[in-house]
A and B are shown apart, each in its own frame.
Chain A
Amino acid sequence: MLLYQFQFRKNGLATFKALSIMMISIMVLTQIQAQNEWNQFRGSSRNGVVNQANFPEIIPTSVAEPVWSKDIGSGFSEVVLSDNKAYVFYADTLHANYTYLAALEIGNGEELWKTRVDSMWVEVDGWGHGPRSTPAIDDEAVYCLSGYGQFVAIDKDDGSELWKVNLPEEFGTAILRWGFSTSPLLIADVVILETGGGEKQAFTAFDKKTGKIVWSTGTGMASYNSPMVADINNQKQIIFANDTMLYALNPTGALLWQYRMPLRGPMAMPVFIAPNRIFVSSVSNTGSFVLEVNDTIATEVLKSPTMQNNWSSSCYYQGYLYGFSKAKLQCVSVESGEMTWGKRGFGKGSLIIVGDKLVALSDQGKIIVTEATPESYQEVASFQTLTGKAWTAPSYSDGKLFVRNLSKVACYKF
């Protein structure tokens, strides 16, 4: 009996150890898979940076043939990637003139399903029709916001509509001149948006399953900005840059701190600089500033005109910010605000960071790969992708780079 107990304990311990290792492995693999997905605006970390140890050795040069490309229609939403599917949010300007979310097979671009979300956002200034906001994806649904403010949850597997909320109807939100552009943020069981409905309706968390309002707070019209999330001082903080104010809320909607910005109406999403700094930039002479947050006190530690982001957000990497200041690709020290190098000729482009490389996209669809270093502009490769105006940042996952413009989407092996 004693021997049996001993053996049971011994075997049980071994089994427990094995199970523990298996569980941890699964958790780590799941985490890695999630990190490798581009499942929301600016990627899984919502900062435009893909932490990848090894940058692919084979980079296309000159004119690269895409793995696949597809006519889709117009829009500015980033291509989002999850579970071997690429989700594109677009207005079908070629046929139906509606806004759709479509799921494509990631390997060949074959359409798996498409779901009508809203009518086509019509752009009065001619910048381009279709949606601006980038959808967010969790295990079950894709959450997308049309230019007219139709916020819809769609089953990620079969494309069926799960729920929808019309922001102007629900919140009395004024439709923005260039359309609703804010990209939803997923935290735990809620999906968070700038709703801009006036008193205590500026920022809203919706139940992911039902679309019911969990909390709504703040004051201010909807802006073109998207909320950022960061862990600061052991506290998850949701940061909204709205008009002249920066607000930090906790996941239950309580205000942690607020700060009057020295600039107005930034479109580029704020950038988190761990452990407790936030960089905000706009296309104004003020340029940018950096806040340091301690407890619930935000203090400005830097103001510098050198980085003037228009709609394209900067990326932070090892002490430096890389981004498009109007139409100049730049590297700027986050400590001093000084530019270490700048390069013109790419128009108002966009960029992401993969491993230790910048992957910039010119406003004419040219990909430029450079070293992410403050020393100098060091181009590694460049190649032309889709031709025509390209205002949407590329998306990247597992060796595949996705670009889109106002008519096509394409996938490149990378």
Chain B
Amino acid sequence: MKKMKQGVLIIAILILFGGFCFGQTADAIVKKHIEAHGGTENWGRIQSLKISGDFTAFSEVKPYTEYKARDGKFYSNHHKGQYRVIEGCNGATYWVDDPWFELGFPHVANEAEKYVIQQKAEFCTPFFDYQQKGYTLSYEGIEKTEGVDTYKLELTRESSYRETWYLDTATYLEVMSTSRWADFAEPTTQQVFYSDFREVENIVLPFYTERVFSIRNRVVEIKEVEINPEFGAAIFNFP
């Protein structure tokens, strides 16, 4: 009887404080994750980024450039196979200029494409200021991912879209994430694999990213990162 009472007590404690403990753990993990990426202070001084390198689609390696600015502004210029594709967002309008659609002109992004651009526009990972952005987070335990132990985190965006992130338990850097994506403007799911983390002016970025969705894989290899570069903000606008 005494043992039963003790058991009930332990279960009650776990029920009462389990969520709290998990919440604490999620925040603690995110805090170390941000530190591993260079820390809040270093990221706080960044207003914009220019990232350039190689983008591989359909096994063809071609140069790409993207600009990111605060407030979710984004511009990307890359090639998917034989065609040059441009995407952007000025903080209000999300747009895509993709000759694969055979439109001959840019179009305002649909819901699936909009979420793609929102994910690309993140300054590194979505965990920075996640509460201010209206995202919620839960810690789901430790899982083996790509051969390493990882913290599994479920992130829910304001839009209610959910993402799962797997952070290396040793480094707190991301190993893999899964989320909604778009293939020819149709919703699909993706897996993203992150590696080759390098420091640039006190911030840390994955220089090799492989994205797998539908039957496709896309590789981004960063060659150069410019912090707070000068450029005309008009590039973010719908052409």
Contacts and interface: CB of A to CB of B under 8 A. Distances in A.
Contacts of A345: 210
Interface stretch (B42-50, B54-62, B90-98): B54-62
B81 A326 contact: no
A363 B56 CA distance: 10
A361 to B, nearest CB: 11
Interface stretch (B69-77, B134-142, B166-174, B211-219): B211-219
A326 B59 contact: no
Interface in A296-346: 310, 326-327, 342, 344-345
B202 interface: no
Contacts of B59: 347-348, 363-364, 389-391
Given A344-B193, A344-B210, A127 B58 contact: yes
A327 B212 contact: yes
Interface in A118-147: 125-127
B228 interface: no
Contact of B217 (A125, A126, A327, A342): A327
B217 A347 contact: yes
Contacts, number: 37
B81 A125 contact: yes
Interface in B203-239: 210, 212, 215-217, 219
Q: How large is the interface on B (under 10, 10 to 19, 20 to 34, 35 or more residues)?
A: 10 to 19
Nearest to A127: B58
A269 interface: no
A284 B188 CA distance: 13
B82 interface: yes
Of B58, B82, B210, most A-chain CB atoms within 10 Å:
B58
B118 to A, nearest CB: 25
A326 B215 contact: yes
Contacts of B60: 389
Contacts of B83: 126
Given A126-B81, A127-B81, A391-B59, A310 B215 contact: yes
Of A283, A327, A363, most B-chain CB atoms within 10 Å:
A327
A326 B212 contact: yes
A71 B146 CA distance: 40
B212 A364 contact: no
Interface in A364-410: 364, 389-391
9 contacts: A127-B81, A326-B216, A327-B217, A342-B146, A363-B59, A364-B61, A389-B58, A389-B59, A391-B59
Interface of B: 56, 58-61, 81-83, 146, 193, 210, 212, 215-217, 219
